[in-house]
Amino acid sequence: MDDKVKGIHWSPEAERDLEEIFEFYFKNPPNSASKNIVSIITETEKMVFTKQWQVDEFDPTCRRVIVKGKFRVVYKIINEFILVTAVYPTKKNPENFRKE
């Protein structure tokens, strides 16, 4: 049986990823930036079980959830806690998305 999530934490890198997503989408209609960030956070907070989502195909030590078909939220399980390690658009290459 899967372990229930006791809490969700965001790494500093994941928080920076959210800021970059917000800044990028703010250039479009500004309200789309807020809507995207809210969707990412809301979907992440819906995690009930630590192993609820798929093992990440690019890093098998992590799991991931796709939000709105546009964003990949990557997380690690540490005891019964979730540590979100990265958030990025699904169109970006996961091997170098922070290098761009």
* pLDDT tens string 70-100: 999 999 989 889 999 999 988 876 665 554 4
Cα–Cα dist 93/87, whole Å: 12
Q: What is the pLDDT of residue 33?
A: 84
Kindly state the tokens that stand for 33.
């930036």
Q: What is the pLDDT of residue 1?
A: 45
Q: What is the pLDDT of residue 95?
A: 62
* Residue 48: band (very low, low, confident or very high) from pLDDT cuts 50, 70, 90: confident
**Full set of structural domains in the chain with CATH:** 7-89 (3.30.2310.20)
Go through the chain and tell me how many residues it has: 100
Mean pLDDT of the residues in the chain? 84
